[in-house]
Structure 1
Amino acid sequence: MSPMHPKIIDSETGRELWTAIECARFSGTARGTFTSYAGRDRAPRPVAKLHGLTLWDSKDVREWVEKRNAAKRQNTEE
């Protein structure tokens, strides 16, 4: 049996929702770092809770990571 890779999709918007671990993995941070950023408004705010899991809109996280990467690139070019 091959491993499964479940995804959480919002039934109203069709958007993929990510756990803190998925957000951290995508952003290249530790889970605790990502949740700390989110708690201090330095990362996207969570959009839902499901069975004790805090969830973020993957689109918001992708946009946040792109902005962070662009800022890093700009700082290295200066």
Structure 2
Amino acid sequence: MRPKIIDADTGHELWTAVECAKYSGTARGTFTSYAGRGKAPVPTTKLHGLTLWDSEDVKDWHANRKARQPHDEEK
């Protein structure tokens, strides 16, 4: 079983810090540190003690983050 949390208003999937970190290729602690310092998306909500992010916000943030990184051939 692979349960998902979907926002009833937007239809977007909501992700935990672990899911955000996995998608962005960072450690959970790194992702939450980024979020706490305003360098990653702001959490959308809390549910039963879980902090949740809108998956679309995380995907957009990650795409912009990758676009700003130098290309491997330029290193």
Instruction: Please say whether Structure 1 and Structure 2 have the same fold, judged by a TM-score greater than 0.5.
Output: yes
Look up the match of 1:29.
Answer: 26
- Correspondence 1:57 to 2:21: no
* % same residue: 65
Give the gaps of 5 or more residues in structure 1. Answer: none
TM-score scaled by length of structure 1? 0.88
Partner Cα separation in structure 2 for residue 19 and residue 45 of structure 1? 12
Greater C-alpha Rg: 1
Partner Cα separation in structure 1 for residue 18 and residue 26 of structure 2? 9
Look up the match of 1:9.
Answer: 6
CA offset at residue 74 of structure 1?
5.7
TM-score scaled by length of structure 2? 0.92
Partner Cα separation in structure 1 for residue 37 and residue 51 of structure 2? 16
For residue 49 of structure 1, give the secondary structure of its aligned residue in structure 2.
strand
CA offset at residue 23 of structure 1?
0.1
Amino acid at match of 2:13: E
Q: CA RMSD in A?
A: 1.6
Give the gaps of 5 or more residues in structure 2. Answer: none
